[in-house]
Amino acid sequence: MRVLVAGATGYLGSRLVPRLLAGHTVRCLARDPGKLRDVPWAPDVEVVRGDVLDRDGVRRAAEAVDVLYYLVHSMNTRGFADLDRRAAESVAAAAGDAGLRRVVYLGGLHPAGGQGLSAHLASRAEVGRIFLDGPVPAIVLQAGVVIGSGSASFEMLRYLTERLPVSVTPRWVHTRTQPIAVRDVLAYLVAAADLPGAPNRTFDIGGPDVLTYADMMRGYARVAGLPRRVIVPVPLLTPRLSGQWVNLVTPVPRSIAMPLIESLEHEAVCTEDDLRALLPTPATPTPYERAVELALLRIRDADVESHWSAASAAGAPADPLPTDPAWSGGSVRTDERSVRCDVPPQRLWEVVEGIGGEHGWYSFPLAWAVRGWLDRLAGGVGLRRGRRHPARLQLGDALDWWRVEELDRGRRLRLRAEMKVPGRAWLEITVTPDGAGSLYRQRAVFVPHGLAGQLYWWAVWPFHGIVFGGMARNITGAARDSQ
């Protein structure tokens, strides 16, 4: 089957495309094809430049296509309701012009009747009606909070829970909703292309748990290993004030947070489960806490590099993609340094591989020693372990309070911290040729755990220039002096 995906640069679209490629030929419609240049599946799709407001352009993109996936919305744009209305009308008409067999759209789960909905939910419902009233049969899936790293709703939940041990919240924390794992949403979207007949209707989709927002925050805390969150509802806290508060304590933009918060005032619970009954082999829906666990796998010890690389494999919905917004994926703090050095890469690497133990860490020895003593007092390993060999490292070696997690000899060394710290930390050093000399790069990465982790990072941040800056300067200086 040939499918066209409008919205392939978005959160769900970028994760849907590789799953469609398992059985279909995929074409993507994008205003800026450059945004898809670095996604892992780019070589396997046809990318067409176009705008959903351009009916003729969409019709041309839809030529020789069977199914159109419409995953476009303009929530963070002023006047988004009018813009989304015009775009849906344009695409519905173009689908008819091109003779498509089906349109698949993902809207929002909302109370029956649709009266008094927030601007965001009302717009999603209106777009669904436009496709249902259009010339091509449409399947409109309606989902509530999508649980997956990168989903705006999940990111807001993540940051609020991790950063606020005590939350003063409005009454919507007691509104019921039926969250759904991103992998289940993707499975339903893929299945929608192959449903028999020509259904033209909405389908509610949700996970197995009906929860309040407060339940979701507490469930997230349990999975993430955080202390139980204290949630204090305040009836007079309006959505506008809530939006300002979210904007203050999380990196989620206010233009996105406000519509999401307003929508949380409406109960979002499935009224039917008809779609699962139509599937040939319906899967068991993912429980909420399992969905959170899968979402948090995006930050895992063995794959922390995905946070600082340009792209990663799209094997699981939790994996990051270049199209994800910069504020998604949880808090990852970094300190990066680079120094050009007029010594051969091999000589510079010898100094890098010899760090720690008797050679020390090339900066502010007293600070390293004090931190080691404090770690031992807290029950950690401190700096007492030293190193196995004075000059060479092996994968898995203990190195003071670090562990060698990756070693590409001559080019890259990555260390994972085993000290007592409210989060997880890594130190990566790379050496690359630079003309007649070398380029030394150093990157410290810290993934804070809860509010304590955030406070820890900012408490030690003033010393980074001395510790990490001095380390970069002194390692390269030692390589020069040893020539």
Q: How confident is the model at residue 135 (pLDDT cuts 50, 70, 90)?
A: very high
List the alpha helices (DSSP H) in 236-328.
Answer: 239-249, 254-263, 274-278, 288-296
Instruction: Decide if 266 contacts 117 (C-beta within 8 A).
Output: yes
Last residue of a domain, one of 290, 307, 324: 307
- 11-28 burial string, b = 16+ CB within 10 Å, else e? bbbbbbbbbbeeebbbbb
Task: Please give the pLDDT value at position 382.
Answer: 79
Look at residue 472 and give its three-state secondary structure: helix
Averaged pLDDT, 395-422: 92
Q: Is residue 278 included in any domain, yes or no?
A: yes
Q: How much is the pTM?
A: 0.78
Confidence of residue 207 (pLDDT cuts 50, 70, 90): very high
Count of domains forming the chain: 2
Token representation of residue 417: 């911290």
Q: What is the phi-psi region of residue 195: left when phi exceeds 0, alpha when psi lies from -120 to 50, beta otherwise?
A: beta
Question: Using an 8 Å Cβ cutoff, are 299 and 448 in contact?
Answer: no
pLDDT at 184: 95
Question: Are 271 and 358 contained in the same domain?
Answer: no
Same domain, yes or no, for 283 and 395?
Answer: no
Mark residue 301 as left, alpha or beta (left: phi above 0; alpha: psi -120 to 50; beta: remaining).
alpha
Q: Could you give the 3-state DSSP secondary structure of residue 316?
A: coil
Look at residue 198 in the predicted model and tell me its pLDDT: 92
Residue numbers of the domain that contains 429: 333-481
Reported as a single tens digit per residue, the pLDDT across 94-125 is 999 999 999 999 999 988 776 788 888 999 99
12 forms bridges with which residues in the sheet? none
Residues 341 and 291 in one domain: no
pLDDT of residue 432: 96
Mean pLDDT of 449-458: 89
Q: Identify whether residues 227 and 172 lie together within a single domain.
A: yes
**Do the Cβ atoms of 357 and 470 come closer than 8 Å?**
no
Q: Is residue 322 part of a domain?
A: no
Which pLDDT band holds residue 303 (cuts at 50, 70, 90)?
Answer: very low
318 domain residue, yes or no: no
Q: Which pLDDT score is estimated for 320?
A: 59
Task: Flag whether pLDDT at 309 surpasses 50.
Answer: no
Contact 173, 245 (CB under 8 A): no
pLDDT of residue 239: 63
- For residue 82, pLDDT beyond 90: yes
Domain-terminating residue out of 262, 292, 307: 307
Q: What pLDDT is attached to residue 238?
A: 67
The amino acid at residue 461 is W
214 or 377, greater pLDDT: 214
Question: Which of 87-101, 240-254, 310-324, 388-402 shows the lowest per-residue confidence on average (mean pLDDT)?
Answer: 310-324
Question: Per the domain annotation, does 317 fall within a domain?
Answer: no
Specify which of 137-141, 252-256, 404-408 reaches the highest per-range mean pLDDT. Answer: 137-141
What pLDDT sits at residue 311?
A: 35
Q: Note whether residue 35 is domain-resident.
A: yes
Cα–Cα distance measured from residue 217 to residue 478, given in angstroms and rounded to the nearest whole number: 50
pLDDT at 80: 87
Mean pLDDT of the region 140-163:
92
Residue 93 clears pLDDT 90, i.e. is over it: yes
User: Across-strand partners of 3?
Assistant: 26, 67
Same domain, yes or no, for 167 and 86?
yes
pLDDT reported for residue 76 = 67
Domain-located, residue 59 = yes
What's the CATH code of the domain at 128? 3.40.50.720
The first and second tokens of residue 365, run together, are 């020895």
Would you tell me how many other CB atoms lie within 10 Å of the CB of residue 191?
20
Answer yes or no: do 301 and 346 share one domain.
Answer: no
Average pLDDT, stretch 29-58?
Answer: 93
Distance CA 13, CA 10 (A): 5
Q: Residue 249's pLDDT is what?
A: 78
377 in the same domain as 291 = no
* Largest Cα span, the chain: 79
| Cα separation, 201 vs 234, whole angstroms | 39
Let me know whether 415 and 476 are in one domain: yes
Q: Is residue 320 part of a domain?
A: no
Average pLDDT estimate for 215-220: 95
Query: Across the chain, what does the average pLDDT equal?
Result: 87
pLDDT digits (tens, 9 = 90+) for 158-202: 998 998 888 877 777 888 999 999 999 999 999 999 999 999 999
Q: Is the pLDDT of residue 305 over 70?
A: no
- Same domain for 150 and 291, yes or no, is yes
Q: What is the CATH number of the domain that holds 389?
A: 3.30.530.20
How many CA atoms lie less than 13 Å away from 389 in the CB half-sphere?
Answer: 10
Under a CB-based contact definition with an 8 Å cutoff, are residues 188 and 205 in contact? yes
**Is the predicted pLDDT of residue 85 greater than 90, yes or no?**
yes
Asked if 410 contacts 346 with a C-beta cutoff of 8 angstroms, the reply is: yes
Provide, rounded to the nearest whole percent, the portion of the chain with pLDDT above 70.
Answer: 92
Q: What local confidence, expressed as pLDDT, does residue 237 receive?
A: 63
pLDDT at position 307 is 37
Through-space distance between the first and last CA atoms of the chain, rounded to whole angstroms: 64
- Tens digit of each residue's pLDDT (9 = 90 or more) over 50-70: 999 999 999 999 999 999 999
User: Is there a single domain that holds both residue 345 and residue 393?
Assistant: yes
241-248: average pLDDT: 72
Q: Do 357 and 299 share a domain, yes or no?
A: no
The residue written with tokens 């190195």 in the block is 399
Per-residue pLDDT at 308? 34
Question: Does 222 fall in a domain?
Answer: yes
Report whether pLDDT(270) > 90.
yes
Indicate whether 104 and 229 sit together in one domain: yes
Token pair for residue 344? 């051969």
Measured between alpha carbons, how far is 30 from 222 in angstroms, rounded to an integer?
A: 39
Complete edge-to-edge strand list for the sheet that includes strand 46-49 = 46-49, 25-30, 2-6, 67-70, 102-108, 138-143, 201-205
Q: Is the pLDDT of residue 466 over 50?
A: yes
Q: Which structure tokens are listed for 328?
A: 């998604």
